[in-house]
Structure 1
């Protein structure tokens, strides 16, 4: 898989983002690095994945919005990033990308390491993360994981699992983590390695498509922690031109989210058109299942939110307080210093009726038209323990 900007990386920069030690952008003196002036408008706005791949359904709002023209004339780019779990924040910090999509744990890692980042659009209104078990071995009380082994795709994911487990009363010092590699950690669990594995909504359906069938403890049902969010350099919010761009860009995502909520099958088709091999391996029904799982996470309880992307500040503060108690961060974090809803009103300022009309007017292919969305929705949690 091609890594973003690989040809432009100096050896010094490559070591910085992939080595065990972290050198911040300030230490590298990056204010003029890569030809970017501090207050210059974006030449091409680059969003970077936390997964090392874009061939997933997680980013359906972008592809649906791009197909529908909701980004207008904005020059946007999506990059898969390295599979290193912390690359999504490191690349934003040093100016190699403009927006990352970290989990709360990886975001707290960034803050702990001096990265001046800010969360501007909270995608995961509900906790997307789950624990996968081989069939018949699932547990409802996660304290049963003490003394057992959990498989991760990246060692960096411990920053995700420790808070989730601790919030359920688990002594995380008694859980052994094994980095089983991306994208093979699920296969490792199915093959008898470890006792459990980290998973998330959307991936559940994609794993089924590859023959991996597990029982799940679902955070979306049992956890009150926040999930992945969009972060940018805090300094970009202080520049009027960049702030205005960010608001327009996030409006495209919000419109894509609304489109996917109104017509999930059409949004899946937008992803499948982008990635034919992924489409062939997943199929319409499991693709629709994956999107519906994620729509549930992204939407949350919309009646209590300011709109798509709105942060629940109390939930985030609870998360930072928990990570401080765990020693994941060393200094207390005030949520208002690192999360903001200042772009949410503008991001949601679009013609909702038009987006619904666009979604309703979309002509589905025969394969997708045959999918019964309500039946898929009714069986979305059949593998939950």
Structure 2
């Protein structure tokens, strides 16, 4: 096993394997160029996962299908990116992509390393992240992870887990991380390696489809933190033409989120049409489970939000203060300097009643008509560790 260390607090870990995407280069997105056209010659959104064949990006696919991007989809590109979680900010910083979807921890890594990025649209209002355990081995007391090993798909995920543990009183210096590789870290846990593994909402359902049957400590139930956000170059928000593009582009995402809230099965169907292999692997029922998990995270408490993507600046400040305390960053960060709600008003400026009507009028295929969505909702958190453990 190879000992390895990186900047950004990545010293307490070991490798099971090193992925081919371990070295991030600007050619990994197929050599996307930047011509001199305005505002964007081709607007590129980059995933943090190394794949697009997941349900996580459902607002884009249903929005595209329903025409909510108002023609912008012809000028946009969705890219999976390398599986290294930090690539989603690195590529935006150097201009090889225009919007990334990092976790808050990876966003803080970008800020620590001088990347001039801002969070423009907060997708994950609640904490999507969870910890998977083999059946019967989990505990709701995370302090029991001291002295134990947590498996990660990428070393870049450690800044996700450290604050999640720290806010629950865990001495993170006593936790060991093992990079088990994407997409094999879940399989590594099932085979007896490590004591727990990082997971997230939506992935839980996909793992069931892959015969990975775990129990979970669920951040969406227990964590005061939150999940991934859309980041852009700060300078783009200061450019009137690019800001106008971002307003319109993120309106498409917001409309997709609104549609899926009213008709989640239609959104799953749109993703399955885009990725037939994913449809084969998980099927309609697990697809419904996955999207409902994610809708809960993306929506949060709408009575306290000013629309889809709204940032809670106080919560963000608490997050930055906590990771500064953990020495995950070496300089204090003011949330108002790196998080903005300037796009939220324009992004949510659409006919909500029309989108609701679109969702109600959508005709599902027979396979999706057969799904009892209320029954799926009733069993959404059956994999949670029992409260008495």
Q: Same fold (TM over 0.5)?
A: yes
Give yes or no for the alignment of 1:114 onto 2:114. Answer: yes
SS of residue paired to 1:285:
helix
Q: Secondary structure at the match of 1:133?
A: strand
2:202 alignment partner in structure 1: 202
**Contact 2:323–2:329 under 8 Å retained in 1:** yes
Q: CA offset at residue 139 of structure 1?
A: 0.5
What is the rounded CA distance, in whole Å, between the counterparts of 1:312 and 1:218 in structure 2?
A: 21
TM-score normalised by length of structure 2: 0.90
- The answer for the alignment partner of 1:58 in structure 2 is 56
Unmatched segments (≥5 aa) in structure 2: 1-20, 27-31
- The whole-number CA distance in structure 2 between the counterparts of 1:18 and 1:179 is 11
In structure 2, C-alpha distance between the alignment counterparts of 1:35 and 1:306, rounded to whole Å: 34
**RMSD (Å), alpha carbons:** 1.5
Asked if 1:331 corresponds to 2:331, the answer is yes
Q: Is the 2:34–2:41 contact (alpha carbons within 8 Å) kept by the matching residues of 1?
A: no
Distance 2:109 2:378 in 1: 37
Q: How does 1:1-385 map to 2 (within 5 A)?
A: 19=23, 34-36=33-35, 40-74=38-72, 75-385=75-385
Rounded to whole Å, the distance in 2 between the matches of 1:239 and 1:312 is 24
Mapped to 2, the partners of 1:34 and 1:257 lie a distance apart of 30
Q: Distance in 2 between matches of 1:226 and 1:213?
A: 25
Q: CA–CA distance in 1 between the matches of 2:131 and 2:33?
A: 40
Partner deviation per Cα, 1:108-139 (whole Å, 9 max, x = no partner): 00000000000000000000000000001111
Structure 1 pair 240/18, CA: closer, same or farther in 2 (3 Å)?
farther
| Partner Cα separation in structure 2 for residue 112 and residue 18 of structure 1 | 20
Partner of 1:13: none
| Displacement of 1:35 | 4.0
Equivalenced residue count is: 358
Aligned equivalent of 2:29: none
SS of equivalent residue, structure 2 residue 130: strand
Structure 1: which 5+ residue stretches go unaligned? 1-16, 24-32
TM-aligned CA deviation for residue 226 of structure 1: 1.8
Question: Cα offset for 1:34?
Answer: 4.5
Q: Distance in 2 between matches of 1:84 and 1:19?
A: 8
For the Cα contact (< 8 Å) 2:118–2:338, is it kept in 1? yes
Q: Tell whether the 8 Å contact from 2:35 to 2:41 is kept in structure 1 after alignment.
A: no
**SS state at 2:285 partner:** helix
Measured after TM superposition, the shift of residue 36 of structure 1 is: 4.5
- Report Cα offsets for 1:123-175 as digits up to 9, x if no partner: 00000000000001111000000000000000010010001000111000000
Separation in 2 of the partners of 1:230 and 1:54?
16
Q: Partner of 2:215: helix, strand, or coil?
A: strand
Q: Would the aligned equivalents of 2:89 and 2:100 in 1 still touch at CA under 8 Å?
A: yes
